């Protein structure tokens, strides 16, 4: 075999690994394809590009969105383009891609050069050797690495879906908290008037200090509740800022004034389990994992039995020191492990166990997905009923009570303070309705994520109270 022929063998091997080129956009288009329709209800949300020109254009779009009152669509779009955590995650996917290419690139052949001298002769050894096993298992490994990368891509896509959902939740909490804080302004105004009138009552001797003190206490209570509401609004906004990846001047945006209205009809529960099993990225990833392990089982058997098969070509030149005559020795060398002790049984068992593990994990993921989607739908449906009740029944009822109290004030049957207290109650009902509306949209976000995205973790909907919204939601 000549050197040229040897080279052609290497070239063939290289050709086998020819698909092993690095994705030019770091697999972002793959992630984007997987996340289509899974970004918290925002259609065609772009992911950060690797291209600097596109990045500059994205920054321009972000500034444009931030100049308007921030809608939830815009918030999700900004977060997907601008969240540094997501950028790190996508960069990591590029790293994984490079590692894949690395893994399926054939190892470089070894060239061994030796020069040995005795008193009679001088010997020069040249050996070109490489592991055959890598070449034999190359198709398996290529497939395996591709599968692994697809799993990584699916996981990155889940992170995108999570970020979209988290951003939407943060937006919902921030907008609701601002609305609620505004209702507290009205409650404080009512308490202020009551306290001031009480002061004047005591001043002219109509009221005792006790009666005045009661109204002052009402004012302090209203003030402290407003402070909490304002804090909740500020922290909710900060949480959103973090998702959006904005700070400084960019964080001076104005939020949309209101949450989206409640939908007229609820999504039906029909077929949600089937949809979740078909669409969810974590279920898809688990399925891939099982496939990958099955593929791996094939080559692990061969690899385990034979270990590494070495193939080497040697060309040794021996030169007699006295005569100067040379003798060239050429030859092939193959190195085979003898399966005497390790017959590959342990490796096969390991591979088999890994398949079983993956199968069980797939089943677990599927069962969890079914349970989660049922819980998410139930939460969604209950949250919708509660929000509708609050909006359509409780708020009008509180308004009626307020109006009727005003009529009683007119008839000198109730006091100004009774009237102001009912106005506060009425405003509180509005705040509760806003929170119920927020809880519905949180539940809706959970439902969408659970249906087509991934596991939502703990369901976010139906938290209660303004303070609850200040808790940052990590993942």
Partner 1 sequence: MNRRNFFSGAATAVAAASVSRVALAALPEPAMQSSADTAPPLHPPTGRPYNPVVTLNGWTAPWRMNAGVKEFHLVAEPVVREVAPGFMVNMWGYNGQSPGPTIEVVEGDRVRIFVTNRLPEHTTIHWHGQRLPNGMDGVGGLTQPAIQPGKTFVYEFVARRPGTFMYHPHADEMVQMAMGMMGLWITHPKGSHPQIAKVQRDYAFLLNAFDVEPGSMTPKVNTMLDHNIWCWNSRVFPSISPLVARQGERVRIRVGNLTMTNHPIHMHGHEFEVTGTDGGPVPHSARWPEVTTDIAVGQMRQVEFIADEPGDWALHCHKSHHTMGAMGHSVPSMIGVDHRGLVGKIQKIVPDYMVMGERGMADMGAMEMPLPDNTFPMMTGTGPFGPLEMGGMFTTLKVRADQPAGSYIDPGAFKQPTGTQAFEWQGAPASTPRPARTDIPGTAPAAASARKPAASGHQH
Q: How far apart are CA 83 and CA 86, in angstroms?
A: 5
Using CB under 8 A, pick the residue from 74, 180, 202, 240 that binds partner 1.
Answer: 202
**Closer to partner 1 by Cβ: residue 197 or 378:** 197
* Shortest Å, Cβ 409 to partner 1: 7
> Per the structure block, which two tokens stand in for 376?
């998410």
Residue 226 within binding range of partner 1, rule CB under 8 A: no
In order, the DSSP letters of 71-133 are: PHHHHHHHHHHH-HHHHHHHHHHHHHHHHHHHHTSPPPPEEEEEEEE-SSEEEEEEEEEEEHH
The site that binds partner 1 (CB under 8 A) totals a number of residues, namely 34
Binding span for partner 1 by CB under 8 A among 198-206, 230-238, 256-264, 368-376? 198-206
Give the number of C-alpha atoms closer than 13 A to the C-alpha of residue 195, restricted to the C-beta side: 17
Q: By CB under 8 A, is residue 193 in contact with partner 1? A: yes
User: Which one of 25, 123, 192, 279 is in contact with partner 1 (CB under 8 A)?
Assistant: 192
Residue with tokens 């596109």: 54
Binding segment (CB under 8 A) for partner 1, from list 13-21, 50-58, 105-113, 189-197? 189-197
The stretch among 70-78, 303-311, 317-325, 413-421 that binds partner 1 (CB under 8 A) is 413-421
Taking residue 167's Cβ as centre, other Cβ atoms within 10 Å add up to 30
* CB 223, min distance to partner 1, A: 16
Calpha distance 192→186 (Å, rounded): 10
Per CB under 8 A, the list member of 200, 329, 330, 343 interacting with partner 1 is 200
Task: Name the packing angle between helices 345-389 and 272-279 (round to 10°).
Answer: 130
Report the nearest approach of partner 1 to the CB of residue 396 (Å).
16
Of 97 and 215, the one with the shorter C-beta distance to partner 1 is 215
Nearest-angstrom CA–CA distance, 287 and 340: 36
Scanning residues 383 to 412, which ones bind partner 1 (CB under 8 A)? 402-404, 406-412
189 and 248 Cβ atoms separated by less than 8 Å = no
419 forms part of the interface with partner 1 (CB under 8 A): yes
- Check binding of 213 to partner 1 (CB under 8 A): no
Q: Does 348 bind partner 1 (CB under 8 A)?
A: no
Query: Is residue 289 within 8 Å of residue 150, measured between CB atoms?
Result: no
Distance CA 404, CA 423 (A): 11
- Position among 168, 186, 288, 438 found at the interface with partner 1 (CB under 8 A): 186
CA 388 – CA 393 distance, rounded (Å): 8
Q: Indicate the burial class of 401 (C-beta count within 10 angstroms; 0-12, 13-18, 19 or more).
A: middle
Closer CB to partner 1, 43 or 411, in the complex: 411
CB closer to partner 1, 125 vs 418: 418
Q: Which residues bind partner 1 (CB under 8 A)?
A: 186, 189-190, 192-193, 196-197, 200-207, 211, 402-404, 406-417, 419-420, 423
């Amino acid at each position: 075999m000549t050197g040229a022929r040897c080279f052609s063998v290497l070239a063939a091997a290289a050709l086998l690994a020819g698909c092993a080129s690095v994705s030019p956009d770091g697999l972002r288009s793959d992630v984007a394809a997987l996340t289509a329709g899974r970004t918290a209800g925002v259609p065609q949300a772009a992911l950060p590009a690797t291209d600097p020109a596109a990045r500059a254009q994205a920054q321009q779009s972000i500034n444009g969105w931030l100049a308007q009152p921030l809608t939830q669509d815009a918030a999700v779009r900004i977060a997907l383009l601008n969240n540094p955590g997501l950028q790190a995650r996508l960069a990591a996917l590029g790293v994984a891609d490079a590692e894949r290419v690395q893994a399926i690139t054939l190892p470089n052949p070894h060239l061994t050069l030796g020069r040995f001298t005795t008193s009679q002769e001088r010997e020069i050894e040249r050996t070109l050797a490489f592991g055959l096993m890598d070449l034999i298992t190359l198709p398996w490994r290529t497939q395996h690495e591709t599968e692994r990368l697809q799993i990584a891509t699916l996981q990155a896509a889940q992170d995108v879906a999570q970020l979209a959902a988290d951003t939407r939740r943060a937006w919902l909490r921030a907008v609701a908290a601002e609305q609620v804080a505004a209702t507290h302004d009205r409650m404080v105004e009512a308490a202020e008037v009551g306290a001031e009138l009480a002061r004047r009552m005591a001043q002219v001797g109509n009221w005792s200090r006790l009666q005045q003190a009661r109204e002052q206490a009402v004012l302090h209570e209203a003030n402290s509740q407003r402070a909490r509401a304002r804090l909740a609004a500020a922290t909710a906004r900060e949480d959103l800022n973090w998702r959006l990846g904005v700070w400084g001047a960019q964080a001076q945006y104005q939020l949309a004034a209101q949450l989206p209205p409640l939908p007229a009809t609820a999504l039906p529960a029909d077929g949600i389990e089937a949809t979740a099993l078909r669409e969810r990225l974590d279920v898809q990833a688990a399925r891939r994992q099982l496939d990958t392990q099955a593929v791996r089982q094939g080559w692990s058997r061969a690899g385990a039995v034979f270990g590494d098969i070495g193939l080497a070509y040697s060309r040794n030149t021996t030169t007699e020191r006295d005569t100067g005559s040379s003798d060239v020795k050429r030859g092939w060398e193959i190195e085979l492990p003898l399966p005497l002790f390790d017959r590959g049984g342990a490796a096969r068992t390991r591979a088999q166990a890994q398949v079983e593990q993956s199968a069980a994990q797939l089943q677990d993921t599927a069962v969890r997905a079914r349970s989660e989607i049922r819980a998410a739908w139930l939460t969604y449906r209950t949250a919708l009923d509660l929000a509708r009740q609050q909006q359509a029944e409780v708020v009008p009822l509180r308004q009626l009570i307020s109006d009727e109290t005003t009529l009683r004030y007119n008839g000198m049957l109730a006091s100004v303070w009774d009237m102001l207290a009912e106005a506060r109650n009425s405003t509180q009902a509005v705040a509760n309705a806003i929170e119920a509306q927020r809880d519905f949209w949180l539940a809706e976000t959970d439902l969408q994520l659970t249906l087509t995205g991934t596991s939502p973790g703990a369901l976010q909907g139906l938290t209660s109270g303004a303070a609850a919204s200040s808790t940052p939601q990590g993942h």
